[in-house]
Chain A
Amino acid sequence: AQSVTQPDIHITVSEGASLELRCNYSYGATPYLFWYVQSPGQGLQLLLKYFSGDTLVQGIKGFEAEFKRSQSSFNLRKPSVHWSDAAEYFCAVRPSGGSYIPTFGRGTSLIVHP
Chain B
Amino acid sequence: NAGVTQTPKFRVLKTGQSMTLLCAQDMNHEYMYWYRQDPGMGLRLIHYSVGEGTTAKGEVPDGYNVSRLKKQNFLLGLESAAPSQTSVYFCASYSRTGPGELFFGEGSRLTVL
Contact = CB atoms under 8 A, between A and B. Distances in A.
A9 B4 CA distance: 28
Chain B interface SS verdict (over half): strand
Contact of B94 (A9, A43, A100): A100
Interface string A75-114: 0000000000000001000000000111011110000000
B41 A44 contact: no
A36 B35 CA distance: 15
A67 interface: no
Interface string B18-43: 00000000000001010100001111
For chain A, the bracket of interface size reads: 20 to 34
A43 B31 contact: no
Contacts of B90: 43-44
B101 A49 contact: yes
B104 A45 contact: yes
B42 A107 contact: yes
Interface residues of B, number: 24
A34 interface: yes
A51 B106 contact: no
Contacts of A44: 43, 90, 92, 102, 104
A34 B101 contact: yes
Contacts of A100: 31, 50, 94, 96
Contacts of B41: 106
29 contacts: A32-B100, A36-B104, A41-B106, A41-B107, A42-B106, A42-B107, A43-B90, A43-B104, A43-B105, A44-B90, A44-B102, A45-B104, A46-B101, A46-B102, A49-B100, A90-B42, A100-B31, A100-B50, A100-B94, A100-B96, A101-B33, A101-B48, A101-B58, A104-B35, A105-B42, A106-B40, A106-B41, A106-B42, A107-B42
